[in-house]
Every structure is written in C-alpha cells, then in structure tokens.
Amino acid sequence: MEIKGFWAEAAAAPDQPAVIDEAGSVTTFGELGNRVDRLSRGMRARGIGVGDTVAVLLPNGVDLLALQFAALQIGAYFTPVNRHLTGGETAYILGDSEARLFVADAHYAQAAREAVTTVGLPADARLSCGPIDGFGDLAALEAGPAVPVEDRTAGSMLLYSSGTTGRPKGIRKPLSGLCPEEDWQPAVAGMAAMFGLTPRAGVVLTAGPLYHAAPNQFTTVGLHLGHPVVLCRKFDAAQSLALIERHKVSWGFMVPTMFQRMLALPGQQRDAYDLSSLRAVAHAGAPCSAATKQAMHDWMGPVVFEFYGASESGTATLARPEDWLEHPGTVGRAVPGMDVRIRDDDGTELPPGEPGLIHISGGPRFDYHGDPRKTVASWRGDYFIPGDIGYLDKDGWLYLCDRRTDMIVSGGVNIYPAEVEGELLQHPAVADAVVIGVPDEEWGQRVVALVALEPGTTPTQEELVTHCRSRLAGYKCPRQVVFRDRLPRNQAGKINRIRVRDAYLASLG
C-alpha cells in the first residue's frame, strides 16, 4: 500500500476536499498546500530555522493546520497551546519553549497580550488571526508566492504535558534530519495498519482539540492518507452525529466523555442518524467504564477501538472491538514494534496478574525540555515509565489499575493536583490543601479540593474556586471544596492522595 502523504496529495489532487468545517465550508488540498508553502517561506524570511519553536494559541481550524504543516517542513518545533489556559500559563509555555514566533486568535486576545508582555516577545514575533493590539496580521506571513521551499527537513511537535511538580513539561523529541516524507511514513503506516485505513478511502471526524496529541495525530494522519477531515471547533453530541451522517465519516478519535454525551441523547434522536459509514472510532486518554463501552458496541456495532499510550511514547497497545468483547476491560496488547512489561519499583519483572508499574519500549526517545532530572527518572534503560499501574494477563493483554496515581483525568484531559494545590495555597486563608479526583458519571473524574484554613478565616467555597479561576484554566479548578481541620500529612510532610481519596469516598458511603 503506497501512502503518498499530504504534500503529494496537494499536488496530485488539488481540488479534493481536505478540511470541511462544521458549517460545511471546504478547503481543498491544493488551497491548504499553497498556504503551507507560503507560510513556510514567511517563517524562513523571519529567521525561523531548524530547531526553532513556533507556538500558536488558535481554535481548531485551517489556520492551525496550515501553520503546523508549514513549521514541520522547515525543521521547526510546533507547539499548539491549550486555548483554555490563562495568560500566565501561556506565558510560561512561550518562555519555556523559547518560541520565536507566536500566532494567536483574537478570541484569546487577553491571554495572548498578557503572555507576550510577560515574556517580552518582540513585536515582529507576534501575529494574530483577527485584531489584537500589538500583534501583526497573520496574512503578512503568507504574502509571498506559493512555491515549495527548498531544503525541506522534518520538524517535530513540541507538546506540553503537565508534570507532578505543577509546571508543564515540553516533550521534546530529537529532529530526525530526514525529509518530511520519510519522517512521517512509519507513524502513518502504523496507524493505517491498526485501524484498517487505506489512502483516499475514508473521511475522518475531529471533534477534540488539536492542542491534544491524539486528535492532532488522527487529523494529520488523515490528511497524509488523502482523507477529508471534518473539523469541529468543539464537541457537540448531536452535531457530531449529524456530521457523521452528512459526510459519511468512516473513522475518528473520541474520549469517553463524548461517548457519555452521545449515549445521553434520547434513543429516538440517536437512532435517527445513519452511522453505517463508521469503520473505526478510537478512544483513549481516560478510563471508560465497561457499561459505557458495551453500550457503544450495542449502538454503533463493532467499530470501537481502544488504545493505550502517552504523548511521550505514542501508541503502545491496541484493543480492536473483537478483542475487547473477548477480554472485557483490557486496553489491548502491544502493537508491532512495542514491548510492554510490568515491573515493581526496583525494576523486577512481575508475573501475569500482578499489578505494577507499566514499562514501554519501542517508542521514540525524548526528553522533558529543561528538566533533565525528570527525563532520567522516566527511563529505565530502553523502557519509558509513564507512571501508570497495570497488569498483564498470561496472554499479554494489558489492564489498567490506575492512571498516573496522582493525575486526574477529566473529560479526557489530564489535570495534575500539584498545580491546583499550588494556586490554592496562594490564598491567604488556605493553610493546607490536597486535590483529588473522584468518580463522575459524565466526566470520568471531577476535581475536589480538601482545604485546611488559617485560624480565624472563613472563606467560602465560591471564593476559593474564583481564586483558582483567576489563575488557572477553568477545567483545572475544583468543582467542590471540602473544609477540614487538618490534612493527614506524615512526619516528612508528604500526603498520600490515594488514601485521602479513598477516605473521602468512604465518608460519602
């Protein structure tokens, strides 16, 4: 099977749809390819070279994809910033990534202005889609001819994944030095094999944000395969079903919260849509209950795939629909080229059925940008340790017990308690705080903060939540604040969040 890739598709089939937005507006492969070439030339004219970083604060759309493909054919790193972050959070990413160019959408003007002011980004390195004070127009970057750039070399994504220290860490993979076509071939061919995809024979739905690894990868793989991408700005259950029917969508990526919202629609409404075009709906990123998964199989048929991995490692295991039905609860078996082992804290391999730390080998090498200690701690020889607990059965099927024991996964989004705790502790009335994730039927988990107060203070729950919202993206903030006289720290000052969570749930009965 020959996979020609995005640039070849843009040249060979310029009139074919590449991106279709939720309103039905179409950008063809030729139009997108021309924008990519103009943007690449514009980046080079502004001094963006191999190893430099281009960061964007943009909604799902053609602008983001064009900038991404442009950066990735001139050897640059590309960092899509979570559009829900505050100005301070965005500034940290711009500074840490050493961004040489920043493009923001006018919808996020306040955060963008605060971020560039904080890091002192030069005026000629700021561009916007729509007017933002102090930013130039993105159109100026693509004013040149739509001619392919010379000396093309592959860049890489530089995605940020929060760490338990509370600061996001950039996952930086070394540049391959290959031309773009050679660089992306293995990943695209691997995904095509996993989900039964063939060139020019499919339509992909992207309902998740492109600043997350999986939705971004599924979208770009679709374009490399010559598949039109139906691109939503945000997920809406009924709208997604209508788009699947209208555009005969055959595959895509979702998180379990999306499953919950579709299943929550009235049965008559759900059944009104023709979903017979679907061949593969992949999910990952959050635990999915067996009941939800079975309900999806009963409704959509045997099209629901699950994979396990990390932004750092890529896909490590895959459970096809028939695999999950035969082994309920599994997240799959190692895909070709990957090896999964279960070991204890000392590195001793554990027998089937015994939970321990998951170790993954076969994915790309990477480091956490600017944090060599975290990088070293995440590797044991050739094996990456994502921090998840699981076990293998005797046939090699992987089952998860807990995902990064401190991490909260809400709606498929990772939330790290230390970051939220750090902001709570900035409030003058808060003496101590611990943040946990508790089960939530729709979101998978919701954020709850247990707080001990300074003597004589009486802040309300609303006051502390508002305090967090002024400093953090809304999805990270507690849904509930529970006041305690004291929190159970040991003599070393540490706290076991799992025990705190279990005690809190037990108190609820």
Please give the chain's pLDDT, 509 residues, in tens.
788 899 999 999 999 999 999 999 999 999 999 999 999 999 999 999 999 999 999 999 999 999 999 999 999 999 999 999 999 999 999 999 999 999 999 999 999 999 999 999 999 999 999 999 999 999 999 998 999 999 999 999 999 975 444 577 899 999 999 999 999 999 999 999 999 999 999 999 999 999 999 999 999 999 999 999 999 999 999 999 999 999 999 999 998 889 988 998 999 999 999 999 999 999 987 777 787 899 999 999 999 999 999 889 899 999 999 999 999 989 999 999 999 999 998 999 999 999 889 999 998 889 999 889 989 999 999 999 998 888 999 999 999 876 666 778 888 887 878 788 888 988 999 988 999 999 888 888 999 999 999 899 999 999 999 999 999 999 999 999 999 998 887 654 667 787 888 889 888 87
Smallest CA-to-CA distance from 195 within 241, 251, 240 is with 251
Q: What CATH number is given for 26-173 in this structure?
A: 3.40.50.980
Q: Does domain 408-507 have CATH number 3.30.300.30?
A: yes
Distance CA 249, CA 227 (A): 10
H/E segment holding residue 505: helix 497-507
Q: Domain ranges in the chain?
A: 26-173, 408-507
Residue type, 274: D
Question: How many Å is the Cα radius of gyration of the chain?
Answer: 23
**Do the domains spanning 26-173 and 408-507 agree at the CATH topology level?**
no
Note whether 223 and 18 are within 8 A (CB). yes
The DSSP letter of residue 84 is T
C-alpha torsion angle, residues 472, 478, 482, 488 (rounded to 10)? -70
Strands (E) in 339-412, as ranges, are 339-343, 356-361, 367-368, 379-380, 383-384, 389-392, 398-402, 408-410
Type of residue found at 194: M
Q: What is the pTM of this model?
A: 0.85
Strands 99-105 and 77-80: unpaired
* CA pair distance 403, 410, nearest whole angstrom: 12
Measure the CA–CA gap between 326 and 319, rounded to whole angstroms.
Answer: 10
Q: Which residues of 452-486 are buried (b: 16+ CB within 10 A; e: fewer)?
A: ebeeeeebeeeebbebbeebbbeebbbeebeeeee
Judge contact between 198 and 280, C-beta under 8 A.
no
Give, as one character, the DSSP assignment of residue 404. Answer: S
Report the distance separating Cα 163 and Cα 5, nearest Å.
34
d(CA 134, CA 417): 35
> CA angle 357-417-465, nearest 5°?
160
Structure tokens at 113: 């202005």
What is the identity of the amino acid at 73? Answer: Q
Beta bridge partners of 168: 162
Report the C-alpha gap between 64 and 78 in whole angstroms. 10
Closest CA to 445 of 357, 359, 504, 386: 504
Q: How far apart are CA 306 and CA 358, in angstroms?
A: 17
Confidence (pLDDT) at 165: 45
Q: Label residue 45 exposed, middle or buried (CB < 10 Å: 0-12, 13-18, 19+).
A: exposed
Taking the C-alpha atoms of residue 234 and residue 207, their distance in angstroms, rounded to an integer, is 6
Q: Taking the alpha carbons of 323, 236, 157, 20 in that order, is the dihedral positive or negative?
A: positive
Provide the CA 70 distance to its chain's centre, in angstroms: 20
The dihedral sign for the CA sequence 155, 200, 322, 335: negative
Measured CA to CA, the distance from residue 405 to residue 386 in angstroms comes to 11
Alpha helices by DSSP H, 397-460 = 417-424
Residues with Cβ within 8 Å of 104's Cβ and at least 6 positions away in sequence, in order, are: 56, 57, 58, 111, 112, 126, 127, 128, 129, 132, 135
Q: What is the Cα–Cα distance from 354 to 444, expressed in whole angstroms?
A: 25
Q: Phi and psi for 451 in degrees, rounded to 5?
A: -130, 135
End-to-end CA distance of the chain: 56
Residue-by-residue DSSP string for 314-352: EEEEEE-HHHHHHSTT--BEEPTT-EEEEE-TTSPBPPT
How much is the pLDDT for 345?
A: 86
C-alpha distances in angstroms, 463 versus 37, 192, 429, 470, 480?
50, 50, 10, 11, 11
